[in-house]
């Protein structure tokens, strides 16, 4: 099953989620995007150095992980940095950051690392098992690409609505 390689991906996700120690919600938001992007890069690099045999479609899957993660984390960072109303709402929802015990943050960090490895594992297992490129691979690529476009459009629409009515839930 390649536990050592999964361990590498786990370490990569933990490193990408370190931002959660600044604000614990980052474990589940910005850290998620960073983790997915980092796994995409790691799997592509592992393939390039010969750990896995990869074909062009496999590299496209890794690239889609990278694009998805960067797009998501970028959107979340921009929203937090530029939107004072969002920062206020987030602070009200999460409360006093210092009240959360450190061991709880560590538990969240570890759990999120495992979760993000699991979420990206289909690409890992395809590479690890030497899965040939098939119609399912290409269908996955199309679905991932369309989902990235759909999420980008939805985020743009949400931002536009929030600019007009910051007090209203985006629908």
Residue span of the structural domain in which 45 resides: 3-132
Q: Give the chain's domain count.
A: 1
Degrees, nearest 5: CA angle 23-153-17: 25
pLDDT the model gives residue 54: 94
Lowest average pLDDT, out of 48-62, 105-119, 153-167, goes to 153-167
Given this model, what pLDDT does residue 1 score? 76
Q: Average pLDDT, stretch 149-161?
A: 90
- 129 confidence band (pLDDT: 50, 70, 90): very high
- Any domain includes 23: yes
> Is residue 76 within 8 Å of residue 33, measured between CB atoms?
yes
Residue 136 has φ and ψ, to the nearest 5°, of: -65, -40
pLDDT computed for residue 55 by the predictor? 95
What is the spatial distance between Cα 11 and Cα 110, in angstroms, rounded to a whole number?
A: 10
Region 51-62 average pLDDT: 95
Q: Residue 155: helix, strand or coil by DSSP?
A: helix
Q: How confident is the model at residue 150 (pLDDT cuts 50, 70, 90)?
A: very high
Residue 156 lies in a domain: no
Span 155-168, average pLDDT = 82
- Give the Cα separation of 87 and 128 in Å (integer): 42
Per-residue pLDDT tens digits for 86-123: 777 777 777 777 778 999 999 999 999 999 999 999 99
Q: Can you give the pTM of this predicted structure? A: 0.90
d(CA 141, CA 61): 6
- Return the pLDDT at 49: 96
Asked if the structure places residue 64 within a domain, the reply is: yes
The percentage of residues in the chain with a pLDDT greater than 90, rounded to a whole number, is 71
Residue 105 in 3-state DSSP? helix
Q: Is the pLDDT of residue 78 over 80?
A: yes
Comparing C-alpha atoms, which of 62, 77, 61, 69 is closest to residue 22?
77
- Across residues 30-53, what is the average pLDDT? 97
Q: Is residue 161 part of a domain?
A: no
Q: Is residue 127 part of a domain?
A: yes
Q: Taking 90 as the threshold, does the pLDDT of residue 4 lie above it?
A: yes
CA 98, 99, 103, 104 torsion-angle sign = negative
In a domain, 150, yes or no: no
Give a yes or no: residue 160 inside a domain: no
* Residue 158 belongs to a domain: no
Separation CA 52–CA 135 (nearest Å): 20
Q: What's the chain's average pLDDT?
A: 91
State the burial class of residue 13 (Cβ atoms within 10 Å of its Cβ: 0-12, 13-18, 19+).
buried
């Amino acid at each position: 099953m390649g536990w050592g390689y999964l361990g590498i991906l786990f370490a990569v996700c933990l490193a990408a989620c370190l931002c959660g120690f600044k604000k614990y919600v980052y474990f589940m938001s910005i850290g998620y995007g960073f983790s997915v992007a980092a796994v995409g890069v790691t799997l592509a690099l592992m393939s390039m150095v010969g750990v896995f045999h990869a074909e062009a479609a496999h590299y496209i899957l890794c690239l889609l992980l990278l694009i998805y993660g960067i797009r998501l984390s970028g959107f979340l960072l921009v929203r937090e940095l530029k939107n004072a109303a969002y920062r206020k709402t987030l602070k009200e929802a999460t409360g006093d950051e210092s009240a959360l015990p450190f061991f709880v943050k560590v538990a969240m960090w570890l759990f999120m690392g495992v979760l993000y490895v699991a979420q990206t594992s289909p690409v890992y297992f395809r590479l690890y098992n030497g899965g040939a490129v098939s119609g399912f691979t290409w269908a996955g690529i199309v679905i991932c690409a369309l989902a990235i476009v759909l999420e980008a459009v939805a985020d743009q629409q949400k931002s536009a609505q929030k600019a007009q009515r910051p007090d209203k839930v985006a629908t």
